């Protein structure tokens, strides 16, 4: 069976079992290894991508279900020499990263969250992170950086993100 979808702004065709998890196609066929396959059961969030602007774990998404959809991966969020997404810039500035493996998924989940929740409180940010596990950092610095990012956007009178291919 052939599945056709948009991947980071370009047409993508997959020939094969439509039950194949999207993450395997991204990593093994498109070499988009920024999407991490960690638990493969939807708990850790490291494989989060946007499907039609909504953040979801690509391990639980059979590719057949993205037929006709627009999929954005971490590589598509800020590609090439483009400026990083404000969240990425804030995480870098806050020295939030350690081993780094959870961060692509963390960025994909939270970039959708800050876009939709410009006035989120700290507890709301933490609640939004329930599907993204980090084993290194103890989370608080990530929460701080998200809060800073929202704060900066509010002061500038802008929304965060809207960067969707």
Partner 1 sequence: MSELSATVMNLPRRDAQDKLRGRTKYTNDRIRLDMLHAVLLRSTVPAGHIRKLDVSAALRCPGVRAVATGADAPGLYGIGIADHPLLAIDTIRYHGEPIAVIAAETEKQARAALAAIMLEVEPQAPVFAMAEALQPAARLVHEGWRGYDVITQGGARAGNIAWEAKSSRGDVDAAFARPDIRIVESSFTVGRQSHVPFEPRVAIGSWEDGRAHIQTSTQVPWTVRNVTGRVMQLPPGRVRVTVPPVGGGFGLKFDASIEPITALLARMTGRTVVLENTRQEEMATCLCRENAEIRIRSAVTAEGYIAGREAVVLMDCGAYGGEQVFLTTMTAHTLGGNYKVGATRLVSRAVYTNTPPNGAFRACNGVYNTFALERHTDEICDALGFDPMEFRKKNVLGDGDLGATGQVFEADVLGPMLDRMEALRASTGTSEAKADGRLYGIATTVGTWFVFVGPSAATVNLNADGSATLVTSGVEIGSGTMVQSLPQIVAGQLGLAPDQVIVREADTDAAGLDVGVGGGRTTVSIGAASIAACAEVREKLLQTAGEMLQTRPEDLVLRDGRVEITGRPGSGMSIPAVVAHAQAITGPISGSGAFAAKNTPAMSGCAMGHFIDALDIPVFVVHEAEVAVDPDTGHVEVLAYRVVQDVGRVLNPRAILGQIQGGVVQGLGYALHEEVTLTADGRIAQDDFETYRLPLAQDVVPVAADLYEGAPSMGPLGTKGAGEVPILAVGAAIGCAVARAIGKPVRQLPLTPPRVLRLLHEREPPPEFPHIAPGWAANTLG
Residues forming the site for partner 1 (CB under 8 A)? 27-28, 32-36, 38-41, 43-44, 46, 73-75, 77-78, 84, 88, 91-93, 95-104, 107, 125-127, 129-130, 132-133, 135-143
Q: Dihedral sign for Cα 95, 82, 74, 145, please.
A: positive
Q: Nearest approach, Cβ of 77 to partner 1 (angstroms)?
A: 8
* For partner 1, the closer CB: 69 or 142: 142
* For partner 1, the closer CB: 21 or 34: 34
Q: Do 116 and 61 touch, CB atoms closer than 8 A? A: no
For residue 61 the two structure tokens come to 């998404």
Q: Do 36 and 49 touch, CB atoms closer than 8 A? A: no
* For partner 1, the closer CB: 80 or 162: 80
Q: What does the alpha-carbon distance between residue 28 and residue 30 come to, in Å, rounded to a whole number?
A: 6
Q: Nearest approach, Cβ of 157 to partner 1 (angstroms)?
A: 25
């Amino acid at each position: 069976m052939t599945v056709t979808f948009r991947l980071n702004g370009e047409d993508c065709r997959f020939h094969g079992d439509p039950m194949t998890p999207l993450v395997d196609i991204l990593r093994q066929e498109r070499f988009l290894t920024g999407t991490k396959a960690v638990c493969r059961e939807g708990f850790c969030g490291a494989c989060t991508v946007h499907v039609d602007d909504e953040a979801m774990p690509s391990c639980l998404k059979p590719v057949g279900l993205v037929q006709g959809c627009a999929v954005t991966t971490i590589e598509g969020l800020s590609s090439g020499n483009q400026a990083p997404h404000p969240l990425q810039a804030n995480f870098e500035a806050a020295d939030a990263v350690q081993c780094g493996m959870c961060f692509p998924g963390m960025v994909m989940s939270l970039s959708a969250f800050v876009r939709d929740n410009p006035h989120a409180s700290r507890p709301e940010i933490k609640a939004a992170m329930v599907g993204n596990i980090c084993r290194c950092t103890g989370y608080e610095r990530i929460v701080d950086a998200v809060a800073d990012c929202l704060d900066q956007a509010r002061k500038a009178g802008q929304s965060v993100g809207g960067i969707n291919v």
